[in-house]
Structure 1
Amino acid sequence: MIDQRFAEEIDKAKPLLYIPAAMEASRFDSCFQWIKGVFSPLGVNGIVMWPDVKNKRFRDLDRFSAVYIGGGNTFRLLKHVTDTRFNDILQSYAKRGGIVYGGSAGAIILGKHIMTCSHMDDNNVGLNEFDGWGLQAGIRFGATTIGKTTR
C-alpha cells in the first residue's frame, strides 16, 4: 500500500534511484532484483542502483524521479553516507522538494535519531554520532517513510 502511494507520487518518465548501502555488498544484486520486483508491477520500470555514493554530486540526482534508500544495518548506512558526504547532498535534495523514500534503515536515518535500531543492528562500524537527518515528513508507516520534506 505505501509502495503504491510512493509509485503514484513519482514521475515515471524518470528513473528511480535505489541506494542499498546499508546491505553487505554481496547482497546488492539480490536487493536490486527485489526492488525491481516490488516497483515494476506498480509501473516503476526504470530503476538505477548506486551501490556506492562516493564522489556523487547534487546535480547527479537531477535525472531521477526520487531516491529509495534501502534497509540493512542502520549504523553502516549512516556511516557510509556521512563519510562520503552524500548525507549533505541528499538532505539538500529533500529540502528542495526531492522525494526520498526509506525502508527500514533507510527510513530510520531520515528521523531525528537512529538509536531506535540498536536492538536489532550492531554498531560494528564504530559510529559515534547517532543523529539522523530529521527529514521525516509526509506519511509514516512502520519503518517506512514517504514524502517531501516540509523543512
Structure 2
Amino acid sequence: MLLFSGGGDTRQTARINTFFASIIEKDRPLLYIPLAGDPRFRSYETCLNYVKAVFRLQGIREVMMWTNLDSKTLKDLSRFSAIYISGGSADKLLGHFRGGFGEVLHSYFYHDGTIYGQSAGAIVLGKTIDILQQLNSDIYGLDLIYGFFLTCHFQMENSKIISKYVQHNQQPVIALPQGTALYQKDNALFHRVGLNPAYLFLTDLRKPVEWRT
C-alpha cells in the first residue's frame, strides 16, 4: 500500500499519521529513512528522535532508522511493518535509491509492503520530480503511482505552471497541499485523508479537479 503526503508540521499531519498507524502492525518495528534531509542542518539522530516521538503517540513502539542502503534486500525489509520516508531533497533521496535500493523498494511494494512518503519522500514515488522548476524533466522517480506525476506543498498560485507542465507533457499531475495525503491499495482508486482536498490536473481540463473523497 502507498500513502503519500503533501508534507506539513505535526499538527497538519496528525490525521494522516493516525490513519497510517491504524493500518500497520504496531508490534513490528517501523523503518525510517531520513536520507532526503540534510544532516548538516538537522542530524539524522535528531530526526529519528522526532519521528519516534510522533509515532509513539500513535502506539508505534519501535522505530528503526537506516542511513546506509547499500546491499539491503527484500528479506531485510520483510521484518518491518512499513517504511516511512521523510522530506527534504527529492533529488538527493533518489541518489541514494539509484544504487539498487529503488528496485528493492519496488519488490517490497509489490509483495504487499506499505510505504508512507512525506513531501520529498512522496515525490520520489511518482513518475518524475521537480515539475515546478522545469517543463522537460528527465529525473525519473520510482513510478509506483502508476504513471502519475506528484507535487507537494501545493498552493493555488502554483496552478498556472502546473497546468502548463501538464499541457506541454500530456501527463496528469496530483497536487497535494500540506496536511493532505492520498492512499492507494490493491491498484484501486486513490482515497484522501487529511485536512484539505487534493487536486488533480488533467490534460483535457484547464482547471484542476478538487479531490475530496
TM-score normalised by L of structure 1: 0.82
Cα distance, 1:148 vs structure 2: 4.2
How far apart are the structure 2 equivalents of 1:14 and 1:58?
A: 16
Structure 2 residue runs of 5 or longer lacking an equivalent are 1-14, 147-174, 189-213
Q: 1:60 to 1:145 in 2, by over 3 A?
A: farther
Structure 1 residue runs of 5 or longer lacking an equivalent are 120-127
Q: Retained in 2: the 8 A contact 1:136–1:145? A: no
Residue 103 of structure 1: aligned partner? 118
Residue 78 of structure 2: aligned partner? 62
Residue 90 of structure 2: aligned partner? 74
Question: For the pair shown, which has the larger CA radius of gyration, 1 or 2?
Answer: 2
Which of 140, 144, 165 is matched with 1:135 structurally?
Answer: 144
Partner SS, residue 48 of structure 1: strand
How far apart are the structure 2 equivalents of 1:86 and 1:31?
A: 21
Runs of 4+ in 1 over 6 A off after TM superposition: none
Cα distance, 1:62 vs structure 2: 1.0
* Letter paired with 1:8: S
How far apart are the structure 2 equivalents of 1:117 and 1:70?
A: 20
Q: Retained in 1: the 8 A contact 2:109–2:115? A: yes
Give identity over the alignment, percent: 37
Partner SS, residue 57 of structure 2: helix
Give CA-to-partner distance per residue, 1:12-50, whole Å, 9 cap, x none.
111000001111234201110111121100001110000
Q: Retained in 2: the 8 A contact 1:95–1:149? A: no
Structure richer in helix, relative to its length: 1
Cα distance, 1:117 vs structure 2: 6.2
Cα distance, 1:73 vs structure 2: 0.9
Q: Retained in 1: the 8 A contact 2:29–2:64? A: yes
Cα distance, 1:146 vs structure 2: 4.4
Partner SS, residue 25 of structure 1: coil
Q: 1:79 to 1:118 in 2, by over 3 A?
A: farther
Residue 155 of structure 2: aligned partner? none
